[in-house]
Structure formats: C-alpha cells, structure tokens
A and B are shown apart, each in its own frame.
Chain A
Amino acid sequence: MRAVDAVMECLKAEGVDVVFGYPGGANLPTYDAFVDAGIRHVLVRHEAGGGHAAEGYAKSTGKVGVALGTSGPGATNLVTPIMDAMMDSVPVVFITGQVRTELLGTDGFQEADILGITMPAVKHSWMIQHPLEIPRVLHEAFHVARTGRPGPVVVDIPTDLSKVDIPYEPVTDVHLPGYQPTTEGNVKQIRQAAKALAASRRPVIYAGGGVISAGASAELTEFVTSDRFPITCTLNGLGGFPAPHPQWLGMLGMHGTRTANYAMDEADLICAVGARFDDRITGKLSEFAPRAKFIHIDIDPAEISKNVPAHIPIVGDARNILGKLVNEYRALDADAGRLDEWWQRIGAWQEKHPLGFTDSSDEEIKPQRAVQAIYEATGGSAIVCSDVGQHQMWAAQYYHFDRPRKWLNSGGLGTMGFGFPAAIGAAVGNPDETVVCITGDGSFQMNLQELATVSENRIPVKVLILNNGYLGMVRQWQELFWDNRYSQVDMGQTPDFVKLAEAYGVAGVRLTRKDSLVEDLRAAIAIDGPVVVDISVTREENVYPMIAPGAAAREMVG
C-alpha cells in the first residue's frame, strides 16, 4: 500500500478517531488517503487552531491528540501549539508534510526546517528518511507522546516518500533503548516521605498538572484525606482535587488565595505532586516556603531540584506512588491531634481573607460576577477552556472544579488564542458534555477564524467573552507597575462580536444586564450548536489577590 495509507493504518491502530488539520501541497498524499481511511478529519481555518484543538482533545479525553499541517508555513504555524503542549506536558502527535527529498535544503517552495525549528520545543521528533520507516516511527511517536512525562512529538514526512508503495505490517512492539521512563517510585524514599509527613506539624500538599496527566486524582484524594492534610493546586492542577472539599485551600501562586500562599509560606513540609515549582508559584525563589522541607514526586527526574532542592525526591508515576504512600502513611498511625494548631491557623486566614470582590452597585457586570454566573448557569459541570489573561485568573478563582480534565488551560506558555480552538477539540472529544470557552476580547481575536470550523461542523462550543475592551492583564500591570502609563492596551474599535458570529452562521448573544445574567447565560448556552456570547464587563477591574512578580508570598496585595 502507499506509505500514506500505512499512516492511516497506524493512526487507526493507535485508536485515533479524529485529527485536526489543514491540507497543502506537501501533504496532499496524506489528504488523499483520508478519502478512504474512515478517520474523522476536522478542517480548521489555521494550523494553530488545529494544534490547539488537538491539545484540547488530549487534555479533556486523556488520549493522544493529532494535528496535521503541510510543509513550510503550515508547519511553522504549528510551532506555538507545539511549544504550548511542551510546557503543559500534553500528548500530541504533530504530522507535517515536507518538500520532496531532492529539494531538501535548497530553499524549495514552502520548505521549512521544521525539525530544526521545533527541536527545543518537542519531546522528540523524526524526519522520515526512508518510506519503510513510516509505520515504526509513527508508533514510536505515539509511544513517546503518551508515556512518561507526556509531550508533543513531530513527524515530518517528505512528500515523495509518502507516495511510495510499501509492504505494511502492523507494529506491535516499540522499544527505544534511550527511553525508559521510571514509573515505580523507590520504596525507601516513599517510606521516608510517609515518616516525614507523620512527623510534620504544618504540612501542605501542593499538586500540579502531573496529577491529572497521571490519572491520579482518586489516589490524590485518598492520600490527602488519609489525614487532614491541607491541599492546594496549581492552575493546571485544578480539578485534580475536588474544589468544594474542606481540606482544599484554593489555588496557590501569583493569583492564588492568601490562605494557600500563607500556608506554603509557613509550612514545615511541602509535598509536591506532579508540580514543577514554576516562577508563577514560587514568586521570589529565595523567600519561597523558607521553613519547609520538600518531598517532590515527579515522573521527570529533571524536575527534581530544578528550582527548589528536594529533601525527599521520588521519581515515578504519581498514581503508583500515591497509592503506596497512603499505605505507608496509614501504617504509621500518626498522631491525630498534631494538626489541630495548623488548621486553626489556616482557619483564621480563611476567615480573614476569603476570596472575594466588591460587586458593583448598579447594572455593571463585574467579571468575577460573570464567572460566578457561568458557574451557576452550567451547574458547575461544564468543561471550561480559558484563554489567557485576566478572565483566565477569574475563571480559575471563581469556577470551582470538582473533577479532573474539566479545566483546560495554557498554563506554562500562556498562549492567547488557545482557549477557543482547545474548546473545539474538547467538544469533539466529549460530544455529551457542555463545553464553554471563557475568553477575553483580546484572546478571542487571536484565533476567531475558527468560528468557521464550529459553524461548518456544528461543534457546540459556547464562547463566553468577558469583554472589557482592553488587554486587561497587561493594562493591570501597567497600572500597578508602570504608573498608569497605558501603552497599546486599549483594544479600540473591537468588532461587534454578535454580528461577527452571525456572519459565520453562528448564534450571537449580547449580555449587559446583571440581574438576569444567570438566566440569560442559561438561555444562551441552551441554544443548539455553537454560540458566541458577548458579556460587557467592568472596563478597569484588577485580578486580586496578587503576588507581585519577584515578590514573596507574605507580600501579597489586594
């Protein structure tokens, strides 16, 4: 069969039911193979949209996402989603077309050295050198993407090689000698961790996106509730532990709760699970959790002691390790009363500094209030994709996630334009769920061409724009740190999003009334198919509380 038909066989063997992509000259053979392959293909309107859609699919389903692009600009348009997937450990296979082998390196039409361009942004990448390699490389690509610390991989296929007739045999085993992720945690270290936990008087569990990648939410909950351990999650870890739980301190970091950040600051022991001590979490590194010893559980050995030295490192799969840790901990029968004082301290913070905002006294809709209304209107059960900016932080603060894979975010790279296409991927992967995209007028305009994709395919994404006419987060920084000297943050003549949606054949709704916001949202979300909802919110509202960049947790403001 043609090598491209073998590509389709590999995708099917890997359980791929949908790919997101955009055709062009160099991947024409692949697109020809789609005609008969019986794999759903969603035609996006920009490769970046396809890449983020594949991420949204992967993040929400736990399966590997697949995105396609042609050579040259098709491939370079995928660079942002590739880097985004790298930063957030999202398993996505990116397949790019490449110019004919005889043209390689000649600056041929639509040639880009995509392997070279993406090398620092991938978990691994391959350029096909010989058509016979294709089946094995594709299976290796899926294996690398989904195992260990998940991540993006790139497979670049020169167009001439993709047309060659090859004998196809299914590949059932993948063995990469240089790639053997450690999954089992070291028993001694786990025991040591249990002992440290039993001896600690002010412990905090700090969970990140790794808990969700590892499918370890149930194990995390069991571990946290095996005693009264206070727990906080990162932006990407939200939903890894049920938000309404009494042991939950809220999110930590730059816009986390005061309680979570103060608890980290005063902790004597921090147990990090699948979290990487990002600078948005630690603030000033030298003053981060100065009294704490650290247990660090991570599948990636390079994360251990990268930013903060770990006293007890445990390399391996979080699900695996937490299961064993619970058993070890229970066997120690720790003193139940020792955490009383700690919880009193935490309780005092919770009482003194609850997460909140001053609501407007008139009809004006505060953005925080809008997120609360979205939470209410969706019954707290929607898959929520956010874009990047103030709305993202408000969504993280005021939409309470009780399950994993319900909150899709560009946490590491902070990619504006991520939310809407990611929501497309989530909706395609979860046809029975309500999928909303909480975005801003700035972020939405970074990938709004995908309105055509949702319109054509009737993908029922509900785009909820918190419209303040500003690049709000940048404006907030200019207000707080640059003496109110606003520079290029007023979005000026923003489009009429309702008319824009209608131009694409998508329902458009404008909401301006505060008192009926929940019902209006409910009605808008209930509209069959895709909807764009433009919600006018307070123009100059800031996200609080906040740890100023480079400051310590104790210096939180707002």
Chain B
Amino acid sequence: MGDPGTKELLSLEELEASGQMRTGRKHVLSILVENKPGVLTRIAGLFARRGFNIDTLTVGPTDDEHVSRVTLTVDGALHPIDQVTKQLHKLINVLKIRDLEPADTVTRELALFKVAADGVQRAEVLQLCEIFRGRVVDVTRRSIILEITGTTDKIESFESLLRPFGLVEMMRTGEIAISRGRGET
C-alpha cells in the first residue's frame, strides 16, 4: 500500500487488508496506578490513539490509599496489545501492569436489572433469579430490580433469559479481575 501522500488510489479492500487484525483473544489488563488526577485520561488516551475500543474499565481503591487499581478489558490481537502495554509502562503514574491470562484469573462483574414483571411473570423471574444466585433489591407493584454478580458470560445469559419478560434497563459495572493462587495480581 502506498503512502497516503501519493496519488495512488487506494481500494477499500487494500485499506482493510493493511490494518492489523483485532480479533485476537480478549485481554484483561490489571493496572496499578498512583491515585492522582488525570491518570485515567492518560491511560484511556493511549488506547484511543491506536483506535482501540475499551470494552470495560473499572477503577477502585486498593489497600493502599495512594494506589488505585484499573481493570481494563479490550479485544486485541497479541501484537498491538504488547505495544500499548509498553506505552502504558512509560506513564509516570503507572506502577505495574499485568496482562492476565483468562485461565489463571477470577473475574467478576456486578449487574443490576430492572424488569417490568408483574403477576404470573414475577414468580418466573424470581425463580430465574434464584437459579442464577441473584438478589432482589427493590420491588414495586409494576417492577422489580435484581442484582447479580458473576462472570460476563453468566450475566449475559441471565440478561438473555430476562429480556422476554420486559427488561426496562440494565447496568453493568465492567469486570474486576484477580489472579488465582497466592501471588499478587
């Protein structure tokens, strides 16, 4: 493919073929950062610059008040992720990065579902909730709110089962992740 500075006409197919495939495995990055303003923008900016879409991003405190943990999931082939990880390492406020292997990682997500279920349907919804080990956190005459934690897969299958009952809205937190075994994440 020619330099865009030259007159050569590019075909859409060529343009697509030249792009790096971004269909590799899902990456869960666990990033320890200093708890300082602007850190999140710097991290997100590195992904945006390469045209990556971040699937989920969660940030929370750790046992050290000066340090926060960012858990970030992104789709990406191995190579591009490697470069972003190296660039992340260059950020002064980033202390540690781990690209967690799915098999060695426990991930959890919290989701809230508001379902417009009354009458007969309500019993069915409650039964589903029990099967998925969810909890009822609010009930009105015309709606019910359920809380569920688990892997992304579990939440997604719960959602697909609930949807026919009249799903009003759904909120998901994005994943947090911790490595299995005794070592620090």
What residues make up the interface of A, taking CB atoms closer than 8 Å to B?
115-116, 119-120, 123-125, 127, 129, 144, 176-179, 300-302, 305-306, 477, 481-483, 548-550
Which of B82-90, B120-128, B131-139 contacts its partner? B82-90
Tell me the smallest distance from the CB of B99 to a CB of chain A, in Å: 15
User: Bound complex: CA of A360 vs CA of B95, how far in Å?
Assistant: 61
Q: Which of B5, B92, B94 contacts A481 (CB 8 A)?
A: B5
CB distance from A174 to the nearest CB of B (A): 11
B34 with A549: CB separation less than 8 A:
no
Inter-chain contacts of B2 with A (CB < 8 A):
549-550
For B141, the chain A residues whose CB sits under 8 A away are none
Interface string of B32-60 (1 = CB under 8 A from A): 01100110011001000100000000000
- Pick from A124, A301, A306: contact of B92, CB below 8 A: A124
The smallest C-beta distance from B30 to any residue of chain A, in angstroms, reads 15
The answer to whether B5 and A549 touch across the interface, beta carbons within 8 angstroms, is yes
**A178: contacting residue among B3, B38, B93, CB under 8 A:** B93
Would you call B7 an interface residue if the criterion is a C-beta within 8 Å of the partner chain's C-beta atoms? yes
Residues of B within 8 A of A124 (CB): 91-92
Q: Is B1 an interface residue (CB 8 A)?
A: yes
B41 with A301: CB separation less than 8 A: no
CB contact between B38 and one of A119, A176, A177, A301 (< 8 Å): that residue: A119
For A306, what are the chain B residues with a Cβ–Cβ distance below 8 Å? 83, 86
Q: Is B6 an interface residue (CB 8 A)?
A: yes
Contact with A along B66-79 (1 / 0, CB 8 A): 00000000000000
Chain A residue nearest to B93 (CB atoms) is A178
Q: Is B3 within 8 A of A550, CB to CB?
A: yes
Assembly CA distance A549 to B6 (angstroms):
7
B41–A116 contact, CB under 8 A? yes
- Other A-B pairs, 17, CB within 8 Å; known A302-B89, A549-B6: A115-B38, A116-B41, A125-B38, A176-B92, A177-B34, A178-B34, A178-B93, A178-B94, A300-B90, A302-B86, A306-B83, A306-B86, A481-B7, A482-B7, A548-B6, A550-B1, A550-B2
Tell whether, in the assembled complex, residue B89 and residue A177 are in contact, meaning their CB atoms are under 8 Å apart: no
Q: Kindly state the separation between the CA atoms of A550 and B95 in the bound complex, as whole angstroms.
A: 38
Contact among A176, A302, A482 for B90, CB-based, below 8 A:
A302
Contact A120 B92 (CB under 8 A): no
B7 touches A483 (CB 8 A): yes
**Are A179 and B92 in contact (CB-based, < 8 A)?**
yes
Tell me how far the C-beta of B113 lies from the nearest C-beta in chain A, rounded to whole angstroms.
35
Beta-carbon contact of B95 and A549 below 8 Å: no
Q: 8 pairs across A/B with beta carbons < 8 Å?
A: A119-B42, A176-B92, A178-B94, A302-B89, A306-B83, A477-B5, A477-B6, A549-B2
Complex Cα–Cα for A477 and B5 (A): 8
Cα distance, A250 to B89, chains bound together (Å): 35
- B33: which A residues are within 8 A, CB to CB? 178
Q: How far is the CB of B14 from chain A (nearest CB, A)?
A: 12
Name the distance in Å between B62's Cβ and chain A's nearest Cβ: 14
Q: How far is the CB of B155 from chain A (nearest CB, A)?
A: 33
Q: Report yes or no: A127 in contact with B87, Cβ–Cβ below 8 A.
A: no
Q: How far is the CA of A122 from the CA of B86 in the complex (A)?
A: 16
Give Cα A477–Cα B33 distance, bound, in whole angstroms.
46
Tell me the chain B residues, 1-18 only, with Cβ under 8 Å from chain A.
1-3, 5-7
Chain A residue contacts of B93, Cβ below 8 A: 178
Q: In the complex the two chains form, what is the Cα distance from A179 to B91 in whole Å?
A: 8
Q: Is the CB of B86 within 8 A of A301?
A: yes
**A119-B45, A302-B86, A302-B87 known; A144 and B5 CB under 8 Å?**
no
CA distance A42 to B145 in the complex (A): 66
Q: Which residue of A lies closest to B85 (CB)?
A: A302
**Nearest chain B CB to A374 CB, angstrom units:** 29
B3 touches A549 (CB 8 A): yes
- Contact in complex: B3, A127 (CB < 8 Å): no
A316 to chain B, nearest CB (A): 15
Whether the Cβ atoms of B45 and A127 lie closer than 8 Å is no
List the A side residues contacting B3 at CB < 8 Å. Answer: 548-550
CB contacts under 8 Å to A, within B131-160, are: none
A144 partner residues in chain B, CB cutoff 8 A: 92
Name the A residues within 8 Å of B5 (CB-CB): 477, 481, 549
CA A435 to CA B58, docked complex, whole Å: 53
Contact check: which of A178, A302, A477, A481 meets B95 at CB < 8 Å? A178
Given the interface pairs A477-B5, A483-B7, the reply to whether A177 lies near B41 with Cβ below 8 Å is no
| B-side contacts of A550, CB under 8 Å | 1-3, 6
Closest to A474 in B: B5
* Alpha-carbon gap, A319 to B42, bound state (A): 31
Query: When A and B form their complex, which 10 residue pairs have the shortest distance between CB atoms, in order from nearest?
Result: A549-B3, A302-B86, A550-B3, A481-B6, A124-B92, A550-B2, A178-B95, A179-B92, A482-B7, A481-B7
Contacts of A302 in B (CB 8 A): 83, 86-87, 89-90
Nearest B residue to A179 via CB reads: B92
Q: Is the CB of A178 within 8 A of B91?
A: yes
Known contacts A115-B38, A177-B34, A306-B83; A120 and B6 CB within 8 A of each other = no
Q: In the complex, what distance in Å separates the CA atom of A115 from the CA atom of B38? A: 9
Question: What's the nearest-Cβ distance from chain B to residue A262, in Å?
Answer: 21
- Judging by beta carbons under 8 Å apart, are B86 and A178 in contact? no
Closest to B6 in A: A481
Residue in B closest to A129 when the chains form the complex, CB atoms? B37
Q: Is the CB of A178 within 8 A of B37?
A: no
The distance in angstroms between the C-alpha atoms of A306 and B93, with both chains bound, is 22
CA distance A331 to B132 in the complex (A): 68
Q: How far is the CA of A116 from the CA of B45 in the complex (A)?
A: 10
Complexed CA–CA distance, A178 and B90 (Å): 8
Give B9 Cβ to nearest chain A Cβ, in Å: 12
Using Cβ atoms and an 8 Å threshold, which residues of chain A touch B38? 115, 119, 125, 127
B46, closest chain A residue (CB): A120
Query: Distance (Å) between the CB of A51 and the closest chain B CB?
Result: 21
Output the nearest chain A residue to B94 by Cβ-Cβ distance. A178
A-side contacts of B42, CB under 8 Å:
119
- In the complex, what's the smallest C-beta–C-beta distance from B148 to chain A, in angstroms? 36
Query: Given contacts A302-B83, A306-B83, A550-B3, is CB(A119)–CB(B92) below 8 Å?
Result: no
A177 to B34, CA, bound (A): 9
Instruction: Kindly report which residue of chain A lies nearest to residue B96, judged by CB atoms.
Output: A178
Known contacts A119-B41, A120-B49, A548-B6; A177 and B86 CB within 8 A of each other: no
Q: Do B6 and A178 have beta carbons less than 8 Å apart?
A: no
Q: In the assembly, what is the distance between CA of A548 and CA of B38, in Å?
A: 41
